[in-house]
Structure 1
Amino acid sequence: MILSESTHGKHTRTATRVVGAGRRKEWTGPVVNPPVWRASTHLYEDTAALARNGQYNEDGRFFYGRRGSPTQWALCDALTQLEPGAAGTVIYPSGVAAIAGVLLTLVKPGDVLLISDNAYDPSRTMGTGLLTDFGVETRFFDPRDIEGYAALFCERTRAVLLEAPGSLSMEMCDLPELARIARAKGAVSVLDNTWASPLGFAALEHGIDISLMALTKHVGGHSDLMMGSASAGPELYAALRKRAQQLGNVVSPDDAALALRGLRTLALRLRQESESALKIARFLAERPEVAQVLCPMLPGAPGHELWSRDFTGGCGLFSFIFRGGSAADRDRFVDALSLFGIGFSWGGYESLALPIQPKGARSVMPWPPASGNDPAVDRHGVRLAIGLEDPEDLIADIAQALEAWKRA
């Protein structure tokens, strides 16, 4: 039986939708997956067909390679089906391209953009770099300070860029309330939802206007592609699509096929990563070398209550702070790990470790985060991206690396 959109519609559970989303019969034919359509030129039977197709700009209608073909359309359709409330999804050649494409759709010269102070660093530098060249003013805010956030709005504020949990430092915030205030002030709320994905946080259902992701991470899942996406309701989706085409954004059909392949195991991988990360976070929380574990999934950790209230899932990404020690000690810990690669990105099947120092990427939020009355909290932290290895092996590797950290 060929799976149809109705077979895996909104009335089925998430894991079932992940398997069937985007597999329309007209795109797959008699096979399981949509074929990889490599084409820059689309041909028409006659000039009437050329004129007819030119009247429409939508997925599923051939026009020119830059507008995609069944491989890309299937991915967009699948992502839209996974985001309740979305009318469509635009895909971009990277996560940063998605952020740029969304912001360049929403703001114009003279506008004000609000960015969460703990956002992904390229998001921050877009506000302080690229957008300043277009006459856009960026204001950073602490997303935990609701009153301070509300006070930043003015008649020129057009958009708010949110991220939860925060990049590197993992703070949670009241996303529904932040989105509600933005809408009441006439601004569009945008959420970088890469950490949880729609499987762990249904952004549009919680009031967010645009949900974007770096598909490079969890959706790809195998550290072999670069891609981003943005999903939205009808009006904003149409605006995003138009601006993406004006900017010439296009995704390789080969990469789209890889993203579709990764998508099918997304629910399983997120579940396993989350279970392993929570086990490792609990281990670290009991270690005397660790001052604080920054993992909202962990009971008692900062932001756990908000995560429990609003989220249905998480992932393998979290951070921790050493109790004292130097930057050299921290680096010695990372270098001593044998099962963790050292590198940027995350969301692949392999575990990664990265030294972090968020202080240089903050304007209004303190680093390190508060930890009660503990005077031993220092600024040296590590971000762990937990992959699909056995968590007991990863714990043993971390334990031996902590011994290296203690050797002065």
Structure 2
Amino acid sequence: MNKPKDEPGLQTILSHCGRNLEASGGYVNVPPYEGSTIIHDDMDDLFGRVDNHLYGDGTARTYGTDGGPTHEAFYEAMNKLEGGVGTWAFSTGLAGCTIPMMAFLKTGDHMLVTDSVYGPTRQFCEVLLKNFGVEAEFYGPTIGAGIEGLIRPNTRLIYMESPGTHTFEMQDVPAIAADARRHGVVTMIDNTYATPINFQPLKHGVDVVVHSATKYICGHSDVLMSTVTCNEKTWKQVRAVCKMTGQYASAQSVYLGLRGLHTLKVRLDAVGAHTRKVVDWLLKREEVKKVIWPAYEKDPGYPIYKRDFAGPIGLFAFQFQDYFTDVQINRFMDSLKLFGLGYSWGGFESLILRSYGKRTVGDPKIMRTMIRVYIGLEDPQDMINDLDQAMTKMRDA
């Protein structure tokens, strides 16, 4: 569908989102406003703001943890991109994945969680939520509309991640969201992989969207932050929990997040093109058994990717042939010069890891066979050359 003639393009929206020349004193970027105490005009102003927190919409600022102009600019931008009514930022990626759950769960409740979920989020569900009397049941990520058969009378939340960031199964998010709505169940998704550029879950029926902004949104491997963006139905509950648990991201972090949004599409376009070249090369290698990338036309998740996503991402996995030993694969990993051995992804530099993690629905061994690759902004031929020389050393090991 063609956009209206007077509607700006995505890159134009990104270039201007969150801009407030009054708040910034005319500077292009709203600077990081750091502070704790807020001075009020008089007692009426002070009590009015407190009343707003206790009985109103909670938007008045009374203290630094409510955020300042920098936060407001960033939140406005995220709401615009995701189609949400409210956004909050957290000081780590994991906090954004876990704290919002507490808005909807209590002792005796049941939740459904994708088996491909981010490992630390899984641990939060299996350990901390269990200690509070919440049962987390893990479902196969390709279940789609079949999830309705798992919904119980006490099911309160369905938590998705599409694709899973180690095994990359695509989920039928609209189908799951539709089933959840019929049963009055809240849906939440980790949308870090796609970013708001390539997928907007709220427009597909999801209630709550979280991002590890540490990755693509900030984009330079120097910020720890996450966000939650909600629809109207869930926003007040989530915001209340964020405030009651003292969640806050620094003004410097949200400043860098807003700055990252301005170049997000440019970076995604570049890494998408680079990844296509590297994947095409890997598919021709006899050492490689399988490449797992939803944007690859023969990937099992490609039909859903093609339907729901606007473009490719630079994170994928591949498997070596079964005859390679752990010693040989580790030799491959240790021989790489351009690819860094490090956690996270979404920055400008290429990274690689042997996958790890836990599965209870799918094959538990599959994680150990995966090599997860993040393609950065380096020249793709240099990446290919690095992979090639490391494979040569692997064969000789």
TM score, norm. by length of structure 2 = 0.94
- Report what 1:128 is aligned to: 126
Map 1:325-340 to 2 at 5 A: 325-340=324-339
Q: 23, 41, 44: which one pairs with 2:19?
A: 23
- The code of the aligned residue for 2:360 comes to S
- Report what 1:78 is aligned to: 77
- The code of the aligned residue for 1:83 comes to E
Q: Deviations over 1:39-75 (max 9, x none)?
A: 1000012112212222334687431101011111111
- Report what 1:380 is aligned to: 369
Q: Which moved more, 1:141-150 or 1:106-115?
A: 141-150
Structure 2 CA distance, aligned partners of 1:90 and 1:273? 28
Counterpart contact for 1:87–1:234, Cα < 8 Å: yes
Counterpart contact for 2:144–2:171, Cα < 8 Å: no
- Report what 1:373 is aligned to: none
- Report what 2:263 is aligned to: 265
Structure 2 CA distance, aligned partners of 1:368 and 1:334? 20
Q: Deviations over 1:49-108 (max 9, x none)?
A: 212222334687431101011111111111111112x11111111121011111111111
Counterpart contact for 2:198–2:311, Cα < 8 Å: yes
Structure 2 CA distance, aligned partners of 1:305 and 1:205? 19
Helix, strand or coil for the counterpart of 1:282?
Answer: helix
- Report what 1:49 is aligned to: 45
TM score, norm. by length of structure 1 = 0.92
Unaligned runs of 5+ in 2: 1-5
Q: 317, 320, 333: which one pairs with 1:319?
A: 317
Counterpart contact for 2:170–2:304, Cα < 8 Å: yes
Taking a change above 3 Å as real, the CA distance of residues 59 and 32 of structure 1, as seen in their structure-2 partners, is: farther
Structure 1 CA distance, aligned partners of 2:274 and 2:58? 38
Map 1:9-408 to 2 at 5 A: 11-57=7-53, 61-84=60-83, 86-146=84-144, 148-324=146-322, 325-358=324-357, 361-366=358-363, 380-408=369-397
1:298 positional shift: 1.1
Structure 1 CA distance, aligned partners of 2:267 and 2:80? 19
Q: Which moved more, 1:287-296 or 1:142-151?
A: 142-151
Helix, strand or coil for the counterpart of 2:333?
Answer: helix
Helix, strand or coil for the counterpart of 2:391?
Answer: helix
Taking a change above 3 Å as real, the CA distance of residues 68 and 379 of structure 1, as seen in their structure-2 partners, is: closer
Counterpart contact for 1:327–1:380, Cα < 8 Å: no
Structure 2 CA distance, aligned partners of 1:151 and 1:31? 54
Helix, strand or coil for the counterpart of 1:160?
Answer: strand
Counterpart contact for 1:295–1:302, Cα < 8 Å: no
1:148 positional shift: 4.7
Unaligned runs of 5+ in 1: 1-9, 370-377
- The code of the aligned residue for 1:298 comes to Y
Helix, strand or coil for the counterpart of 2:234?
Answer: helix
Structure 2 CA distance, aligned partners of 1:209 and 1:19? 27
Taking a change above 3 Å as real, the CA distance of residues 379 and 233 of structure 1, as seen in their structure-2 partners, is: closer
Helix, strand or coil for the counterpart of 1:178?
Answer: helix
1:286 positional shift: 1.0
Counterpart contact for 1:60–1:69, Cα < 8 Å: no
- The code of the aligned residue for 1:104 comes to M
1:269 positional shift: 0.6
Structure 2 CA distance, aligned partners of 1:145 and 1:203? 18
- The code of the aligned residue for 1:225 comes to V
- Report what 1:374 is aligned to: none
- The code of the aligned residue for 1:387 comes to G
Helix, strand or coil for the counterpart of 1:129?
Answer: helix
- Report what 2:3 is aligned to: none
Q: Deviations over 1:336-355 (max 9, x none)?
A: 11111101000001100001
